[in-house]
Amino acid sequence: MIIGSKYIFRENLSSTNSCAAELIKNNPLPEGTIIYANYQSAGRGQSGNNWESENGMNLLFSLILYPFMIKPSDQFVISKIISLGLCDFLNRHATNISIKWPNDIYIKNDKIAGLLIEATIIRDEIESIIAGIGLNINQKLFRSNAPNPVSLGMITGKDYDTGDCLRKLASDLDRRYKQLLNDKRGEIDTEYLNNLYRFREWCDYSDANGLFEGRIISVNSGGRLQIEDRRGRIYEYSFKEVDFC
């Protein structure tokens, strides 16, 4: 087992990603090491967004990978496999799980998990990737202004052992990472699209030019979202360039 080969626990951290970066800067850790905490005082999401989590109620962890076989331009595949691993875990407990591009996991129209993936690139090669994951497990009340948070406990009405959840999720992530190591990128791409939120559904979106109706048709190897409008024109978007309405 690669992912989950080593666990490092800290009761409280400002950020598991920041802790992981500091640890590997001074002392290289085995690939697949997981740094997890009960609480983050400054948990981060994409583009500097905060991640709310009640102490000890959810999964807050960072995963260290050394995917030397991946070009920096293709690093979005790491987001794909981690998103699929999260779906694998959640599908054993609930239905209507999907991946909302670029870095969220949804149950129906509510957000249950988020990713923050940070790569260190030297001489056009990936030296390391730190994948931060926040997955809402037992929290029942969210106080931030986030529009649509939900937890597994809210959906199922059950309480979960977070340690057991972490081990089982690590196993799911490990299987997905080995899918990548075995060069199954075609399978990964197909499964990712099949699990993508709003894939091929006509919905409203908003970009720099205003509101329009379109449908998601793909996500390219660089992680850019491709949306087709009613006239058959295809547009590509990077993070924060298009909003889901």
pLDDT at 47 exceeding the cut of 50: no
In CATH, what number is assigned to the domain containing residue 61?
3.30.930.10
Whether residues 187 and 214 share a domain: the answer is: no
Whether residues 190 and 207 share a domain: the answer is: no
Q: What percent of the chain has pLDDT over 90?
A: 88
In CATH, what number is assigned to the domain containing residue 217?
2.30.30.100
Range of the domain at 232: 203-244
Minimum mean pLDDT among 8-17, 43-52, 82-91: which range?
43-52
Whether residues 157 and 66 share a domain: the answer is: yes
Q: What is the DSSP string of 150-189?
A: --HHHHHS----HHHHHHHHHHHHHHHHHHHHTT-HHHHH
Q: Domains in the chain: how many in total?
A: 2
Task: Give the mean pLDDT of the chain.
Answer: 94
Six token digits for residue 88: 């694998």
Whether residues 133 and 155 share a domain: the answer is: yes
> So what's the pLDDT on residue 45?
52
> Which has the closest alpha carbon to 45: 118, 96, 106?
118
Residue 180 backbone dihedrals phi, psi, to 5 degrees: -70, -45
- pLDDT, mean of residues 45-71: 83
Whether residues 103 and 178 share a domain: the answer is: yes
Whether residues 19 and 76 share a domain: the answer is: yes
Pick the residue with more confidence: 145 or 1?
Answer: 1
pLDDT at 110 exceeding the cut of 70: yes
Query: Sign of torsion, CA 63 195 74 178?
Result: positive
Distances (CA, A) of 160 to 58, 77, 105, 131: 9, 30, 19, 23
Cβ-contact 92, 85 below 8 angstroms: no
pLDDT at 33 exceeding the cut of 70: yes
Cβ-contact 227, 216 below 8 angstroms: yes
**pTM of this structure:** 0.94
> So what's the pLDDT on residue 43?
57
Query: Could you read off the pLDDT of 184-242 as tens digits, one per residue?
Result: 999 999 999 999 999 999 999 999 999 999 999 999 989 999 999 999 999 999 999 99
Query: Could you read off the pLDDT of 123-133 as tens digits, one per residue?
Result: 999 999 999 99
Whether residues 175 and 214 share a domain: the answer is: no
The verdict on residue 127 lying in a domain is: yes
Q: Which of 194, 211, 233 is the last residue of a domain?
A: 194
The verdict on residue 1 lying in a domain is: no
Six token digits for residue 194: 């099949």
Query: Could you read off the pLDDT of 131-180 as tens digits, one per residue?
Result: 999 999 999 988 877 789 999 999 999 999 999 999 999 999 999 999 99
Whether residues 44 and 165 share a domain: the answer is: yes
Whether residues 220 and 152 share a domain: the answer is: no
Whether residues 188 and 207 share a domain: the answer is: no
